[in-house]
Amino acid sequence: MRIRGVLALSAALLTGCATSGPTGTEVLSASLAPEASRLVIYRTSPLGFAVQPDYFVDGKSVGASQPNGFVVCNLSPGPHEVTVGNFELNVNFGGGEDQAKLVLEPGKTAYLKAEPQIGLTLGVITLSEVTENQGQTDTADLHKIEGSCA
């Protein structure tokens, strides 16, 4: 009886986590065309697993902030704005920003790490840019989230 309870609790905790699909090693090892750029937004922490707002790139929803998952977008080089669709009336007590402005370089991949923070009513997700080496290491075993990057 205890085992069933533990299994049920484990299944409930993993609901909403990216646990299927190709991994970062499989998806992100492909080289980019010299004139293209890639943006990867990822979340490793299961903290606040029920808080899964959408990521927006240049105002367009590209996927949800799921623990153990990443969204990959092939974009044109140049300036782009990434935001998180956190609950608007929530107050972020953990610090950090829920938006990032970055300039993508041709032939390169930029990585944004999404991290849950404590909020007044719900948790919030914040973004921070990390190095390509850190991003590759962090996303190697994460799973791709199906999104709508164009």
> What integer is the mean pLDDT of 98-116?
95
pLDDT at 73: 94
Q: What is the mean pLDDT of residues 106-114?
A: 96
Tell me the CA end-to-end span of the chain in Å, nearest whole number. Answer: 48
Looking at residue 11, its pLDDT comes to: 38
Give the total residue count for the chain.
150
Q: How confident is the model at residue 48 (pLDDT cuts 50, 70, 90)?
A: confident
Among residues of the chain, what percentage have pLDDT more than 90?
Answer: 57
The CATH number of 2-144 is: 2.60.40
Rg (C-alpha) for the chain, rounded Å, is 16
Separation of alpha carbons 148 and 142, rounded Å: 18
Domain ranges of the chain: 2-144
Query: Are 126 and 97 a contacting pair, CB within 8 Å?
Result: yes
CB 116 within 8 A of CB 46: no
Q: What is the pLDDT of residue 89?
A: 67
State mean pLDDT over 16-36: 81
Q: How far apart are CA 37 and CA 87, in angstroms?
A: 30
Report which secondary-structure segment, H or E, holds 6: helix 2-14
